Structure 1
Amino acid sequence: MKFGGTSVADAQCIRRVVDILEQHHKAGNEVAVVVSAQRGVTDQLIEIAGKLPTAKDDSAIAPLIRALSTRHMTTLEGAAPDQVAEVGADIEERLISLQNILFAVYNLRELTPRSKDYIISFGERLLAPIVAAALRERGIPSTVMDGCEAGILTTPQHGESTSLPESDERIQRRVGPLLKKEIPVIMGFMGCTRDGILTTLGRSGSDYSASIIGAGIDADEIWIWTDVDGIMTCDPRVINDARVMPSLSYLEVMELSYFGAKVMHPRSIEPAMRKNILVRVKNTFNPTHPGTTIVRNGQRDNRVVKALTYIDKVAAININGAQMIGRPGVAKAIFTILADHEVNVMMISQGSSEANISLIVDESHLSAAVTALSDLMKQGVVREVSHNHDVCAVAVVGAGMAGAPGTGGRIFTALGAAEINVMMISQGSSEANISFVVHQDDGPRAVRVLHDEFHLSEASDE
């Protein structure tokens, strides 16, 4: 079971988490727990780490340490009052370590990827001992482990590392034996290299940790506890009658995640897929709701389309040039230079003439992308690069679209009837995702039109 930042935001939330764990423990289930940092803490750590190398002075460090101490000690006092002295001393010791590395970054005027990983792991380092203490307060034995101690071995890429295959055996050996007698609490978001150097797992890293741990202990199920009832047909801020989907396939969740839906990182599904483990997404604040189950083939549904994602903070880049036609290696040059500048490409479309390639990137990556592609213009690989901020992207997702004639026709007929102009279309070979780009102002309306066209607010007949 993994509990996210909102699920452990304060003492009351942690008591609710322990209620859930106690119930499953008493029922005879063997449970391992992965926890995130408290909501907002990792963002605070990222912010200060980024500012210190160029800061005028070190005055920001002491207030941050005091704020983190106050927040975590208050949480500890409310969640495990009988263990304040012992666990509080552990938290204060960890805060001294954090303070020392922050001063080092300031004094050296350098933030290395390795130092940044160490700093941003402290949200989990401060929180996990409190959850374990709250379990012990209920009479349930509990040990705290960081990701490395639990056995998660990773590639050496700081900030975006990936679990290695030998993690399974290490996790089974280190975590497996504990499950018979206690509930281990494991810090999410982190692992270590074969040399023992700490690494972090990137966005939704705690979900990924939970899936890695679940695969390692051969779990029957992996439960992701969050603050919503499950995975929804669309973002409820865009569609107010969006519905929780009872079941999705691994493929559908990966398609939604790749396209930016705040569901789970696509890598979070991979360890579960490898071991064919059922994943549940449930609401800590409404634990009786069945949530969404994620399995290999999903649940049979009478609809071909399951969900929509909508992203408005994107930009379109158009790359043109007759010299691109029939010239081997142009696409390689484009995507290599974008990768070198750490630009994530979300969508790709190329005309059959080969004279135009269109890309969709995150808006925050646009400047880096334009800089990178300018180099290719100077080299004569491409002739022209233009970009457009006034766009948004929509993805239509459903495993039932594969081999189902007419789905694309329904999508674009409905959009045409609503007088919504489609600027770019992209479809993957899995056929489980059709993505398109429209003008910014048309985005919410496009989602509404398709949500209605495919009756996604209505429960399906299975």
Structure 2
Amino acid sequence: MRFLMKFGGTSVADAQCIRCVVDILEKHHKAGDEVAVVVSAQRGVTDQLIAIAEKLPTATDCSEVTPLVAALRKRHMTTLEGAAPDYLEEVGAVIEKRLASLQHILSAIHNLRELTPRSKDYVISYGERLLAPIIGAALRQRGIPSTVLDGCEAGILTTPQHGEATALCESDGRIKKRIEPLLKEGIPVIMGFMGCTGSGIITTLGRSGSDYSASIIGAGMDADEIWIWTDVDGIMTSDPRVINDARVLKSVSYIEVMELSYFGAKVMHPRSIDPAMRKNILVRVKNTFNPGAPGTMIVRNGHRDSRVVKALTYIDKVASININGAQMIGRPGVAKAIFTALADKEVNVMMISQGSSEANISLIVDESHIDAAVNALAALVKDGVVREVTHNKDVCAVAVVGAGMAGAAGTGGRIFTALGLAGVNVMMISQGSSEANISFVVRQEDGPRAVRVLHDEFRLSEECN
């Protein structure tokens, strides 16, 4: 079997975690499997790098850089010593060189008083740059040959959108050419989260982009399966912090996991399914610290049981925007003007609902984008395109997901009857043409209760054939 395995930040958080990772890889290597590995930065490191990079252009001095670099040195060298003591000097020198480079870049950002998207991408790629050599050394410590590559060296070619780049189709051939020979020699370790443009400029794939990297590499090397290793037993029927009897799903479809990930499920990156889906590769989500658990399979056509709803999720850090005006009725180009204004300010619209009268359009955006969105739409009010724009931060979006909802009569009735009986007021409803997701908006305080009511209504805690 040929596997691509990705390990997230919690799976590589310290030396003990890395030893668990190597146990898993060693088992497959000894069984004769071909395995390539994509790794994230250690938990919290990317957040630290983003925070300091964004602070430096306006900081009075760069005194915080040296303590950060020292903390990163201590953390990574301690991890290296615990995971691969025989390689402390060799790999320690690599880490030192990269930390020196990071310190110079951060100092330059402060001196220039400017953080460009390009330089930010380069800075935040250092979490993976510091960690991946340690994983490679830990494998060699067990006698398993390993080559460490960054995303560009592995063959990931992307669009030039810094911070949210997309892999290009040409990546497949590059990855196959570069990774396949290494699979015969040992286990290649690839830095997740990054690729490069055709001219070699480093780009990043967005937050949680290591999942996306894994899918890109897995598709390029024609993996039989892609395994996403995390700190939970699989994809669950709902957030266990909200639903204490939430259950691990045995199987979900590509479309279901895309809907769930977009609406707040933390296990998968929203775009990470695309490359696997293109090549019909089975994806598994498994627990690094409980490797014997079967996890969740993600396949083209998920297992259908007697329940049409498969899982529930919600996002609480969102805001609603209501755009009103009789002048919108029958007027071509209003929607275009609205979405162009928002796109120009880089505001991502998560949900849309429009009444048949055309006099009202409701939108859901990330809470952090609300000020930019309202300012962008104010110009349309001034120009008379719309009459009024109002917004509300006291909301959350709930998604009811299940491929079995397509063509199943009465599902919407069950959802909204259950919510009505529980006294939960629905403020906005949206459903896509796939019919795999019915999303709605409620007051923020009603979000957890809405999820619990529907989890009980569709008996999601019970095993079902």
TM-score over 0.5 for the alignment?
yes
Is 1:212 the equivalent of 2:212?
A: no
Task: Trace 1:44-443 onto structure 2 (pairs within 5 A).
Answer: 44-443=48-447
After superposition, give the CA deviation of every residue in 1:92-127 in whole Å (9 maximum; x if it has no partner). Answer: 000011011111101111101000000000000000
Q: Structure 1 unaligned runs (5+)?
A: none
CA contact (8 A) 2:230 2:267 kept: no
Counterpart-to-counterpart distance in 1, 2:342 and 2:241 = 32
Q: Percent identity?
A: 83
Contact kept in structure 2, 1:253 and 1:263, CA below 8 Å: no
Please report the TM-score for the alignment, with normalisation by the length of structure 1. Answer: 0.99
1:260 Cα shift? 2.4
Instruction: Summarize deviations over 1:200-237 as a string: whole Å, max 9, x none.
Output: 00022100000000000000000000011100111111
Question: Take 2:408 and 2:30, find their aligned partners in 1: how far apart are those partners?
Answer: 47
Q: Which whole-Å CA distance do the structure 2 matches of 1:391 and 1:103 have between them?
A: 41
Further displaced range: 260-269 or 182-191: 260-269
Residue of structure 2 in register with 1:460 after alignment: 464
The residue type equivalent to 1:199 in the other structure is T
Contact 1:256 1:263 in 2 (8 A): no
Structure 1 range deviating more: 348-357 or 440-449: 440-449
Question: In 1, Cα distance between the equivalents of 2:207 and 2:306?
Answer: 33
User: In 2, distance between residues paired with 1:442 and 1:189?
Assistant: 35
What TM-score results when the alignment is normalised by the length of structure 2? 0.98
Please give the alpha-carbon distance, in whole angstroms, between the structure 2 residues aligned to 1:300 and 1:385.
42
How far does residue 46 in structure 1 lie from its aligned partner after superposition? Answer: 0.1
SS of aligned partner of 2:427: strand
Q: CA deviation at 1:343?
A: 1.1
1:213 partner amino acid: I
Cα separation, 1, equivalents of 2:392 and 2:156: 42
Gaps of 5+ in 2: none
| Secondary structure of the structure 2 residue equivalent to 1:317 | strand
Q: Secondary structure at the match of 1:33?
A: strand
Q: Does the CA-based 8 Å contact 1:312-1:392 persist in structure 2?
A: yes
Code of the residue aligned with 2:189 in structure 1: it is V
Letter in 2 for 1:194: G
The CA deviation string for residues 319-360 of structure 1, in whole angstroms up to 9 with x for no partner, is: 001111111111111111111111111111000000000011
1:225-280: CA deviation from partner (whole Å, max 9, x where unpaired): 00111001111111111111010000001111222221312210000000000000
Query: 2:38 aligned with 1:15, yes or no?
Result: no
Q: Secondary structure at the match of 1:46?
A: helix
Cα shift readout 1:136-176 (whole Å, capped 9, x = no counterpart): 00000001000000000000000000000010000000001
- Using the alignment, how far apart are the partners of 1:336 and 1:237 within structure 2? 38
Letter of the aligned partner of 1:8 in structure 2? V
Asked whether the equivalents of residues 247 and 294 of structure 1 are also in contact (C-alpha less than 8 Å), the reply is: yes
One-letter identity of the residue aligned with 2:78: T
Q: CA RMSD in A?
A: 0.7
CA distance in 1, matches of 2:172, 2:393: 44
What SS does the aligned partner of 1:313 have?
Answer: strand
| Structure 1 residues 401-443: Cα deviation after superposition (integer angstroms, max 9, x where no partner) | 0000000011011111112111111000100000011112221
SS at match of 1:244: coil
AA matched with 1:429:
S
Moved more, 348-357 or 261-270: 261-270
Separation in 2 of the partners of 1:64 and 1:168? Answer: 37
Contact 2:348 2:365 (8 Å CA) reproduced: yes
